[in-house]
Amino acid sequence: MSTIDIIIFIIYLLGIILFGISFYQKERTSDDYSTGSGTLPAWVIGLSIFATFVSSISFLALPGSAFSSNWNSFVFSLSIPVAIFMAIKFFIPLYRKVGSPSAYTYLEERFGPWAKNYVASFWLLTQVMRVAVILYLLALPMYVILGWDMRIIIIITGISVMIYSILGGIKAVIWTDAIQAIILIFGAIITLAVLMFSLPEGPSQYFDVAAQYDKFSLGNFSLSLTESTFWIVFIYGIFINLQNYGIDQNYIQRYMTARNEKEAISSAFGGGLLYIPVSLLFFMIGTGLFVYYNVYPDLLPAEFKEAGMADSVFPYFIVNGLPTGITGLLIASIFAAGMSTISTSLNSGATVILNDFYKRYTKQKVSENKSVKVLYTASAAICLLGVLISFLIIRVESALDIWWNLAGIFSGGMLGLFLLGFFSQKVSNLPAMIGVGIGLLIIIWMSLSPAYFGGSLEAYQYSLHSYLTIVIGTLVIFLTGFLLSIVLPQKDMN
């Protein structure tokens, strides 16, 4: 990477850290740290929601998926409007009414402490894994550029994000998210333009070659439950996106930073829908990389054509195919995406640990000073765990696949419990608890049986597509709880 590119990248990285630190308040309260005291404008929150959703998982893994396959994964984005409508209609008014910085306070009010503990614990597991996957994806381009040990890059990145996230609080997280979202979009547009106009015949060749290899396919429309069809990805997307926009602390906490319910709804609507065209940009970039290296096959080293290297093709092109100056901007964009998501997970995870566990179970009164210290410590712990786990997933076949599979497993059917509590007011504690227990057993079976049920147990393996794990788990919990509330006598259900 040229000196100019390195300077651009370093200036950006230091600038973001210093900008985040500038929000440091010596006399900060826990409410300042978690919700910014509900004073942030809707447009900034919307950009933050968008940046949280994007992350480097989108910036690197989506082009990698389009490069190696087609646009089947883009169907996930097409399901977002359905999820946002439900979140705006049902969930945002609920959280604003409850008034807690934690999304999971409602479950304790509805079903008791066990429900909140179950969902909050599984959500925290998801955040740790999310931080780990993103740290890995951030290390990829720097590994290609500098040749450093990926573990060193992961450690440096993790510490950098942790510093400004802890010192700046939610205001730093959201405002830096907004800046990073703009840089990310700008960088993606430039990349696609360079790819298209670098072809001998210009943009028309992009579409001709891509169509020849069926790269624009959204997947087949069969009703198969074992393949990644259009319908499987669409249904999976509805459940995951409803979980994101409807019950995920990362998003709920942003709704609570808005001045009022109307602005919270506006931020969710704008931030969510913005992801659709931007994710399309990422898929176009991945297809553009395929076309570019199909036209110029000698420009891509043989090792990048091997299985498991698709996520590395985009970083390679950034270093070797972009003009000087643009490379530094794109590397900054990748870090912009990843840093915003990591900082969000750290802040939101710390908020859950403080409100749902520490304050709930400590025997002494928790002062504001103590609360802030717990928030700082919890943020650091989540970051360090993410760093350690990211070491274990280096060189996975596809970061997008591993993330989606882990998200389905660790979510643990938590969406089912929320839907049960919200849409079926007659369901009480016992039916909900039984539904969660049965749902978790089925989720564990669906997740582990393909790998561990061999020999005489092979006939009992889960054989449907892994994306259906969250779908089936959610439905089992909801339907079991609902049906039991009808069958069991009222006196046995409390």
For 121-177, what is each residue's pLDDT tens digit? 888 988 888 888 888 877 876 776 667 788 888 998 898 889 888 888 889 889 988
Percentage of the chain modeled with pLDDT above 90 = 30
pLDDT of residue 144: 67
The pLDDT of residue 64 is above 70: yes
pLDDT of residue 290: 94
Residues 304 and 446 in one domain: no
Domain region containing 422: 412-494
74, burial (CB in 10 Å: exposed 0-12, middle 13-18, buried 19+): buried
* Domains identified in the chain, total number: 2
pLDDT of residue 405: 59
pLDDT of residue 55: 67
Residues 390 and 439 in one domain: no
List Cβ neighbours of 252 (8 Å cut-off, separation of 6 or more).
91, 95, 102, 103
pLDDT of residue 225: 92
224-249 tens-digit pLDDT: 999 999 999 999 999 989 988 888 88
pLDDT of residue 169: 87
284-300 tens-digit pLDDT: 999 999 999 999 998 98
Residues 28 and 150 in one domain: yes
Residues 364 and 449 in one domain: no
Structure token pair of residue 75: 């169907």
> Residue 402: pLDDT band by 50, 70, 90 thresholds?
low
Across the range 471-484, mean pLDDT stands at 91
Residues 7 and 96 in one domain: yes
The pLDDT of residue 476 is above 70: yes
CA of residue 380 relative to chain centroid, distance: 19
Of 386, 404, 422, the one marking the end of a domain is: 404
7-16 tens-digit pLDDT: 888 888 888 8
| Cα separation values, 197 from 5, 191, 201, 301, 321, Å | 22, 10, 8, 22, 12
pLDDT of residue 410: 63
User: Where is average pLDDT lowest: 36-40, 55-59, 164-168, 198-202?
Assistant: 55-59
Contact, 317 vs 289, CB < 8 A?
yes
Across the range 366-393, mean pLDDT stands at 90
The pLDDT of residue 79 is above 90: yes
pLDDT of residue 310: 80
Residues 281 and 322 in one domain: yes
DSSP secondary structure code for residue 365 in this structure: P
pLDDT of residue 404: 56
Nearest to 19 by CA among 238, 180, 249, 156: 180
> Residue 325: pLDDT band by 50, 70, 90 thresholds?
confident
pLDDT of residue 161: 87
What CA–CA distance (Å, rounded) separates 269 from 277? Answer: 14
Residues 330 and 452 in one domain: no
Output b/e per residue, 325-342; b: 16+ Cβ within 10 A.
ebbbbbbbbbbbbbbbbb
Of 353, 372, 404, the one marking the end of a domain is: 404
The pLDDT of residue 485 is above 90: no
Nearest to 136 by CA among 342, 391, 404, 408: 391
User: What mean pLDDT is reported for the chain?
Assistant: 86
Residues 398 and 457 in one domain: no
Across the range 305-332, mean pLDDT stands at 81
Across the range 395-413, mean pLDDT stands at 60
Q: What is the DSSP string of 19-55?
A: HHHTT--TT--HHHHHHGGG-B-HHHHHHHHHHHHHH
Residues 365 and 452 in one domain: no
User: Where is average pLDDT lowest: 12-26, 36-50, 374-388?
Assistant: 12-26
Residues 381 and 422 in one domain: no
| Cα separation values, 441 from 148, 404, 437, 449, 472, Å | 42, 20, 6, 11, 12
277, burial (CB in 10 Å: exposed 0-12, middle 13-18, buried 19+): exposed
pLDDT of residue 53: 82
pLDDT of residue 320: 85
Say which CATH number the domain at 394 has.
1.20.1730.10
Residues 275 and 382 in one domain: yes
Percentage of the chain modeled with pLDDT above 70 = 93
> Residue 408: pLDDT band by 50, 70, 90 thresholds?
low
pLDDT of residue 230: 96
Residues 281 and 148 in one domain: yes
The pLDDT of residue 250 is above 70: yes
Structure token pair of residue 85: 């409508």
> Residue 205: pLDDT band by 50, 70, 90 thresholds?
very high
Task: Supply the Cα-derived Rg of the chain in whole angstroms.
Answer: 23
List Cβ neighbours of 35 (8 Å cut-off, separation of 6 or more).
101, 170, 253, 256, 257
Q: Model pTM?
A: 0.85
Contact, 73 vs 217, CB < 8 A?
no
| Cα separation values, 304 from 135, 183, 316, Å | 21, 27, 9
391, burial (CB in 10 Å: exposed 0-12, middle 13-18, buried 19+): middle
pLDDT of residue 366: 85
Of 404, 421, 448, the one marking the end of a domain is: 404
**DSSP-assigned beta bridge partners for residue 258:** 40
